Amino acid sequence: MVSLGTAAKLPVIDFSNQNLKPGTSEWDSAKHQVQQALEEYGCFRASSDQVVELREAVFGAMEEVFDLPLETKKLYVSDKPFRGYFGHPSKLLESMMIDEAQIAENIEQRLTTTLWPQGNTSFSKTLVSFTELSTRLEKTIRRMILEIFGMDKYVDEHIDSTNYLLKLMKYKAPQTSEPTVGAVAHNDMNTLTILYQNEVDGLQVQSKAGEWIDVEPSPDSFVVMVGESLYIWLNGGLSPAYHRVVVKGNKARYSAGLFSASRGGYRVKAPEELVDDKNPMLFKPFDYEEFLGFYLTQVAPGAVPVHHIQHPCCPFVLRYRLGGQQLTHKTLGAMADKHGPVFSIRLGSNKVLVVSSWEMAKECFTVHDKVFSTRPNTVASRLLTYDSAMFGFAPYEPYWREMRKIATVELLSSNRIVKTRGYEELEYLVMVKYLQEEMKSLQENLQEVKKHLQGKIKSLQEKLQEETNLQ
C-alpha cells in the first residue's frame, strides 16, 4: 500500500516582487533562502501574488481542455518524443505538452487551433499568461542558482538554450480513500520544474532521510524542483527532487507544469570551473533531446510514453524501467555501447553502477576496492541491525575493520575452528532435529498451510494486477 507523507512543510520563499533585481539585498536574501531549501530538499514553494489572479482561469482552461472528447484530444500530436496528448481510459493521468511554450504563438497555433478549429482565444490567453509568469520565475531562480555557484557568466548561454515545455495534467479521481499512485516516484530529467496545482493534494517529495513529505497545495504558490539536467550541469552540486503523485478521493487533480529543458543540439556539460582534481566530472555530457530519442528506441522500445518525465534517463544518471520489451542484459549492452563501460542507472529508488568490461571490473576491485568494500546504508539495515552495527551491514570504516579483525582472529582462525568444532557439530544436530520436528508438524498442518498460502498468493496477484493497471 502507498503510504501518506509526513506533515513536514517545504520552505516557502516569496517571489511576488516583480522588480526583484540582482544585487539588491532583497535578491540576496531570497537567493540565500533558495540555496538553503535546495540543499535540503531539492525543491521549495515559491509564493506569488500574481498567480492567484490567474488561478480560476488556469484551472477553468484545464477542465475545458480535458473535458473535450477523447477523439479530439488525440488530434494533438507531435513528431518529437513524449510531446502531444497522452492518456488512456485505464490510467489516472492524462497530459498534454507544448514545446517552446514561451513563444506565445506556439500555444495558439499548435494546441488551440488543433483542438478548436473555430478558435478559443480565452484558452490561449490564459495559457500564455501562465507561461509568461512561470517562465519569468524560472529565469529568476535559475539566475540565483548560477550565482550561488559563482557561475553568473553562464546565465545568458543557459537561458538562450532553453526550451520551456508547458505540460497540462489531469489525474482523474480514483474514487477510493486508499492512496493511489498517479505518477510513480521519479526525478525530473529536465533543468527546473515549476508546478501549479488545484486544491486536490497528491504531490510528495522525498526528504534526505527517505520520508515522503506531502506538498500541500496552496493557491498562491508554485512548487519549484531541481531536475537531473541541472544536477549534471552543476557536477552534482544540487540534488534533484525525488517525487511522486499519490491521489485519493473523488475529485480530479489538475496540475500545470513548466519544465525548462535544454534544446536539442546543446550539450549539458559541467563547466570547467566546477571540475578539478578533487571534483572530477561526474557525468558524461549529453544532449537532452538526443537522449529522449535514445530512450524511446533503445531503452524502452514500444514504451507508452504516458509521461516523459516518468521514464527519464540520461547517460549517466539514468532511470529505466525493467520489464520493457527487450531483455535487460541486451538493454544494458546497448547502453554500454553508447555510453561506455561504466555508467550508473537508477533501479527504483536505488542508484546502481553498471560495469561492463573486465578491465573496469578489475579497477573496481583493485585500485578502488575501498570504495566498493562498503555496504549501502539502507533504512532496513539501520532499523534491523541496530543502526548498522552488525558485522555484515556496517559501513566500511574503523568500526567495521575492528570487527573484521576480531572475527578473523577470534572466530575464523583455524585454531579457533578446531577448538569449537564440537560445539558446531552439536549445533548442527540440534538444528537438524528441530527441522525434523518442524517438518512433522508442518506435514500435519499441510492442508491448512496450503490454503493459507493460496489465499496470500491470490491477494498478492490482485495487488500486483492493481499496481500494473495504475502504472
Per the listing, cell 540543499 goes with: 39
Q: Does 195 bind ligand AKG (CB under 6 A)?
A: yes
Residue 18 three-state SS? coil
Name which of residues 357 to 376 contact Fe ion (CB under 5 A).
Answer: none
In the DSSP assignment, the letter for residue 13 is E
DSSP 91-124: SSEEEEEETTTTSHHHIIIIIIHHH-TT--HHHH
Residue 107 touches which member of ligand AKG, Fe ion, none, C-beta under 5-8 Å by kind: none
Q: Does 203 bind ligand AKG (CB under 6 A)?
A: yes
Q: Does 184 bind ligand AKG (CB under 6 A)?
A: no
Binding residue for ligand AKG, selected from 13, 245, 300, 335, defined by CB under 6 A: 245
Q: Does 311 bind ligand AKG (CB under 6 A)?
A: no
Q: Does 309 bind Fe ion (CB under 5 A)?
A: yes
Binding residue for Fe ion, selected from 94, 138, 188, 214, defined by CB under 5 A: 188
Residue 245 touches which member of Fe ion, ligand AKG, none, C-beta under 5-8 Å by kind: ligand AKG
- Closest approach, Cβ 293 to Fe ion, in A, equals 20
Q: Does 388 bind ligand AKG (CB under 6 A)?
A: no
Give the dihedral of Cα atoms 227, 229, 234, 235; nearest 10 deg.
Answer: 110
Q: Which residue has its beta carbon closest to Fe ion?
A: 188
Q: At what angle do helices 121-148 and 25-41 cross, to 10 degrees?
A: 90
Q: Which of 142, 161, 153, 46 is nearest to 100 (CA)?
A: 161
CA–CA separation, 239 and 139 (whole Å): 19
Strands 43-47 and 12-14: what pairing? Answer: parallel
Which span sits near ligand AKG by CB under 6 A: 126-134, 195-203, 435-443, 453-461?
Answer: 195-203
Residue 435 three-state SS? helix
Q: How many Cβ atoms are within 10 Å of 391's Cβ, its own excluded? A: 14
Residue 389 CB partners (closer than 8 Å, separation 6+): 399
> 34 with 148: CB under 8 angstroms?
yes
Residue 121: all three cell numbers together? 482565444
- Closest approach, Cβ 39 to ligand AKG, in A, equals 21
Q: Does 197 bind ligand AKG (CB under 6 A)?
A: yes
Q: Which one-letter amino acid corresponds to residue 29?
A: S
Binding residue for ligand AKG, selected from 143, 243, 311, 339, defined by CB under 6 A: 243
108 versus 214: smaller Cβ distance to ligand AKG = 214
Residue 268: all three cell numbers together? 549539458
Q: Does 181 bind Fe ion (CB under 5 A)?
A: no
Q: Does 309 bind ligand AKG (CB under 6 A)?
A: yes
Residue 147 touches which member of Fe ion, ligand AKG, none, C-beta under 5-8 Å by kind: none
144 versus 309: smaller Cβ distance to Fe ion = 309
CA–CA separation, 267 and 39 (whole Å): 25
Summarize as ranges the residues that interact with Fe ion (CB under 5 A): 188, 309
Summarize as ranges the residues that interact with ligand AKG (CB under 6 A): 167, 169, 183, 188, 195, 197, 203, 243, 245, 255, 257, 307, 309
